[in-house]
């Protein structure tokens, strides 16, 4: 008997795990446990959810043998197959055209032929096939069709990167600000894919630049998360808000995710020039992902050098001292930079230690010398 998987809450996934809202919903159904992101097939006709069950016991090295169940659905939510997996780490979804495997050694699930004209229309849009789109519309497919993930035909067309199909659907009245179960509009999808030309088209057709998805993330932040420079430039130049009250602002995302590069510097300069707020712990990111040039750039724009973190009340100077992945040479450059910019070397952390005392404790002799020279 085929089961139907129903959603009743707007918001299905975050970037790593399924959202709180959906978990609340799932707790009221037979599908209980931790769910990962839906994995949609390349043709948009099917999707997979993985349900992680409670961990049995921890394994050496931090792993676990937590079992899981993998579910296969078509786009309208009909359950097509499921499989229990002994260890969640074994799951590796591979779409194979006419089938899918859920682990490298699992038998292939054959994907049933889809006859639903609305799913076929969605798939044609998802893969950017305009001829097929027009054919299914002529046969009476529903222009207002949504998948079980609440994705509209416009979502599919943007994912399919076909501007002509996108404009066709807009002309037929599909809402450009409709959200799927992630809370994402078509602008979010375009930002993820970095399609600057598509973003221009959507803006010209009235898409909301600053809508937040379920995780309080804007399209601009998503573009930043995915390293899409041109998409960010278009969004910023068209008036997207460079500030975001959530913990994942565009600036935070660039600092946290991008490796040192000219593009990173360029985007940070643009954000700072547009009046981005000086959020907390910006300098800390330049230590976690060592980037001396970005540290200088932030300091030149007035970021507070004496800010301490909320965890153990340590300054960025103390964070440099604790950094064991930096070369001694780079640590020295950071220390010299912070001292030259006036960092308070006498600030104490929650254990009552100054930067000098911490450096002495950790055996950082070169840093000890630099701080002592400053004190003298």
- Inside any domain, residue 149: no
Least confident of 278-292, 326-340, 361-375: 278-292
Q: Decide if 158 is inside a domain.
A: no
Residue 71 is assigned to a structural domain of this protein: yes
pLDDT value, residue 200: 98
The CA distance from 67 to 148, in Å, is 26
Q: Give the mean model confidence (pLDDT) for residues 16-23.
A: 36
Identify the domain containing residue 375 by its residue range. 304-376
Among 88, 110, 132, give the residue marking a domain's end.
110
Q: How many domains does the chain have?
A: 2
What is the reported pLDDT for 3?
43
The mean pLDDT of the chain is 87
Span 271-293, mean pLDDT?
86
**What's the rounded Cα separation, in Å, for the pair 210 and 235?**
10
- Kindly state the average pLDDT of the residues 326-330: 94
Q: How many CB atoms lie within 10 A of CB 99?
A: 12
**pLDDT band of 18, cuts 50, 70, 90:** very low
368 found inside a domain: yes
Higher pLDDT, 263 or 27: 263
pLDDT surpasses 80 at 247: no
Distance (Å, whole) CA 106 – CA 141: 36
* pLDDT band at residue 34 under the 50/70/90 scheme: confident
Q: Is the pLDDT of residue 255 over 50?
A: yes
Give the per-residue pLDDT at 153.
Answer: 98
Residue 28 has pLDDT above 70, yes or no: no
Residue ending a domain, among 63, 84, 110, is 110
Burial class (CB within 10 angstroms; exposed 0-12, middle 13-18, buried 19+) of 220 = buried
Q: How many angstroms separate the CA atoms of 347 and 321, rounded? A: 14
Smallest Cα–Cα separation from 331: which of 370, 355, 289, 367? 367
Spatial CB neighbours of 376, under 8 Å, sequence gap ≥ 6: none
Question: Is 95 inside any structural domain?
Answer: yes
CA dist 110 and 99 (Å) reads 4
Asked if the model's pLDDT at residue 12 lies above 50, the reply is no
Domain assignment of residue 61, yes or no: yes
Q: What's the confidence (pLDDT) of residue 2?
A: 38
SS3 82: strand
40 belongs to a structural domain: yes
> Do the beta carbons of residue 153 and residue 125 sit within 8 Å?
yes
% of the chain at pLDDT higher than 70: 87
Adjacent-strand bridge partners of 64: 58
Domain end marker among 77, 110, 143: 110
Query: 315: domain CATH number?
Result: 1.25.40.20
Q: What was the pLDDT predicted at 61?
A: 52
In a domain, 191, yes or no: no
48 half-sphere exposure, CB direction, 13 A CA radius: 23
CA distance 93 to 331: 42
Question: What was the pLDDT predicted at 140?
Answer: 98
167 pLDDT exceeds 50? Answer: yes
Q: What is the pTM of this model?
A: 0.81
């Amino acid at each position: 008997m085929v089961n139907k998987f129903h959603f009743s809450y707007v918001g299905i996934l975050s970037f790593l795990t399924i959202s709180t809202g959906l978990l609340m919903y799932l707790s009221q159904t037979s599908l209980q446990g931790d769910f990962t992101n839906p994995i949609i097939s390349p043709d948009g006709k099917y999707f997979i959810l993985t349900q992680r069950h409670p961990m049995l016991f921890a394994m050496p090295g931090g792993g676990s043998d937590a079992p899981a169940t993998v579910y296969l659905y078509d786009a309208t939510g009909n359950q097509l197959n499921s499989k229990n997996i002994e260890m969640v780490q074994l799951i590796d979804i591979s779409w194979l055209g006419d089938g899918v495997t859920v682990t490298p050694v699992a038998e292939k699930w054959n994907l049933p032929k889809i006859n639903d004209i609305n799913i076929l229309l969605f798939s044609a849009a998802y893969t950017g096939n305009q001829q097929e789109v027009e054919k299914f519309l002529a046969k009476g497919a529903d222009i207002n069709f949504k998948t079980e993930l609440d994705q509209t035909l416009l979502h599919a067309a943007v994912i399919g990167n076909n501007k002509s199909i996108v404009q066709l659907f807009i002309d037929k009245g599909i809402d450009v600000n409709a959200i799927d179960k992630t809370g994402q509009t078509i602008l979010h999808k375009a930002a993820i894919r970095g399609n600057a030309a598509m973003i221009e088209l959507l803006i010209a057709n009235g898409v909301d630049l600053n809508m937040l998805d379920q995780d309080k993330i804007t399209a601009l932040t998503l573009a930043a998360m995915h390293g899409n420079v041109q998409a960010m430039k278009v969004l910023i130049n068209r008036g997207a808000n460079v500030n975001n009250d959530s913990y994942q602002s565009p600036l935070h995302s660039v600092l946290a995710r991008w490796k040192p590069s000219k593009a990173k510097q360029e985007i940070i300069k643009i954000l700072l020039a547009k009046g981005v707020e000086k959020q907390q712990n910006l300098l800390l990111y330049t230590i976690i992902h060592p980037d001396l040039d970005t540290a200088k750039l932030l300091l030149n724009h007035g970021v507070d050098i004496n800010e301490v973190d909320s965890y153990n009340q340590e300054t960025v100077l103390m964070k440099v001292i604790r950094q064991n992945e930096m070369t001694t040479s780079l640590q020295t450059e950071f220390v010299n930079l912070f001292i030259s910019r006036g960092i308070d070397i006498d600030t104490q952390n929650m254990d009552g230690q100054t930067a000098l005392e911490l450096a002495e404790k950790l055996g950082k002799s070169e840093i000890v010398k630099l701080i002592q020279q400053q004190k003298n």
